[in-house]
Structure 1
Amino acid sequence: MPFTDRVDAGRRLAGRLRQLRGEDVVVLGLPRGGVPVAFEVATALDAPLDVIIVGKLGVPAQPDRPKRSPAMGAVGEGGVLVLNEPVIQQADVSDAQLAEIEGRARAEVDRRAHRFRHDRPPLPLAGRTVVLVDDGIATGASARAACQVVRAQGAARVVVAGPVCSPGSAAELENEVDELVCLEIGGRTGRVTDFYDDFRQVSDEEVVDLLRRAVREQPAEVSAAGDDEVEIPVGEVRLKGCLTVPEGAAGVVVFAHGSGSSRHSPRNTYVAGVLQQAGLATLLFDLLTTEEEPRRAKVFDVELLAGRLAEVTGWVRSRPEFAGLPVGYVGASTGAAAALWAAADSDADIAAVVSRGGRPDLAESRLGDVRAPTLLIVGGRDTKALTRNRRAETSMRCESRLVVIPGATHLFGEPGALEAAATAALAWFTEHLVPAAAPSG
């Protein structure tokens, strides 16, 4: 059953996916060839369209190593990092080598994301069904890496779809995805191009045009309140942020993201949305500038990050709409260390802190000075973080609680894990932040 071209293949593939119409679906095309196919699928399902940009981490070349070794992992937007620890150990890759390879991969992901979307943030995936679409799945390496990345971004269900898939890749993918949808499995040569009459190369410009058309034809993503892009002066730099203020907000929660992430972190965005719907204002901002992000020393300079968080908190309190409102912090990974460090200042006056998958050990010397009620949320399978957070809780003198999300790993990518973490955070702020907004009688 040859396809005339990618448009024809996309329309036929959409027919096999029509049962998804009406669900909370996001369609992601693997650039470049997968995007024309994904456009037709998204149109038929009346679903938003985006690209999934993945950077695979290749094993460093050595004479005694196969040229096509398995990847060490993959990086995605929003600071997502997925590692294949057995491959890293077997290849004896040092931390410095891994950091260098990761840095190059992230730079390429950022370059391609800007090329395809310009300044538009990626669509949020947390809690949604994600349909990954390519024009053909030969080795399956890109599709498998994309699956790992979208799960790390909180996707509730992952469907991989393609007009054609090789038998070997189909067998491997069926063990990694919730559903695999392919119109053709196999072929005499195993080459995707044999299934198309017209398989001409897709240009960057075509991808950009299809994404723009999809944005024009789809309704805007629904949010609890309008988002305002802001720039916050901090010392000699200006930090970009996203401020959301529901009507009658009872408090403000400032988010400090983890290493390698940004204000567009899909996990923090999801948690922020839960808080916004409950009437809390949120500020997600970049702790580092674009020029600073590649410098690992800056990423782990918790004192610098905490100082910036404190200055941003002062900026929040200076705004008239927040006069007298209590302020809380949500921190993830290194951002949690910065939040605890900042909350330990004698004049911080922070009403509550939530750490999600945090590194409180990086603020160990300050934990005894934190007075804000603190919730530590950790995944049950994130053993290193669990040990660190248990030790941190014993060092704290303020009211604190450790919540373990069963079956969750560091990024809370498992079905229901991020939702459980967000629910716990909301309950903590409802208990400790919202009462602080009530006038004393």
Structure 2
Amino acid sequence: MSQIGDIGALGRHYLQAESYGAAAFCFYRAMLEDRESGNAWNGLVLSLSLMRKEQDSQTALARFALQPNLPYDRDLIAFAMMLWQQNPRALSEWVRGVVNHHSPSGQDKETLNELADDLERSYGQLVERHGEDALRAQGMLSLEEYAGRRLELDWLMDETFDQIINQVKQWIDSSDTEAVLAGVRLLCMLPDPRSEKMLRRVCRNEELDGKVRTHALLALRWLGVRGNARIHKMGESFVINLDDPKPELTVSVPAAYKPALDRMKLWLAKQQGFVTQEEYEGHASTDEPEMPEALAAKVSEAEIPAIYQEVVHMLVRAAYDKYYPLVPTVRETRYWAAALLMLMKDYVEGIGESWTYGEPEQEETAVRHRNWLLSGSPDYYDNIDAAKKMRAAFNG
């Protein structure tokens, strides 16, 4: 097997082991050695996406579409549609790039061309309504602009491991939260004994933000480290088994909160008339982890804007990251759902939109849950106010 094959196979091994940072490093190196390796591009995008590195995922996807002579990869279409769902310009250019450079055949080519046509029309309508400059100010970049951005891993082309490690050490020593977090997120993709050592130190440093310490623990796992690791929170030391972290260690919304999110959507579906009061009570009053299939089908008919859901996801993740592993056990999920709905309502009304669903259920336990969630995002209402001003400027 060639060296490229070896490192690509190692990347797949790390990917299957959920060591996404080590996998990204391997796939990036494989891509540098052979830019026409479909396996390397696919693995790189997948690894970055699983770490929720959205900007780097977009950049890698853009470069992928503009790279000639790659094999057609249908699997990456879903990633592109997810990452550029708010940018029809970039998505249309991405689809055109895949058609022109990767030679899909038959029905796939026809479908992609039709999709690109639709997206170009959508973008044209946005330009007519708002103007290209306003859209650009909102972050609606071209595919070339996405491709030209710097990946975190691009450092490997310009500097040695020693230079990168020394720079990250300076970021961590600065104690600036954003700088330390940037260093932590880079170290997870640098397979070197010094990376592990620095991440373990961050986990134990109570002078750093709680979110940073949790992300350092997660970065150790993404780096491929297994076994025990210590994390300090609230003046206590906790040992976490990185083979099977308890509580769940994730960059996404923890699975324990899914029943609460389901009940949140169930309530919104009830308010829109898709679910009866009896059907709502029949499920909301229990802590059953899964929604019955027939009820889930009704809930899926309700219109719940993705941005509203992402806001509450962000609040859950922020509080979870701050306090991990001292996170509450999610019981009485109806009240957790009510807390999320209160915060969602505040967001919708705060940015100047109409909340048409009525008042969420008010209960003392729900208020306590809401306050816990807010404690992880103390600037929540400031951010809402900033979003309102940005929307006002965009809409003229």
Higher helix share: 2
Higher strand share: 1
TM over 0.5: no
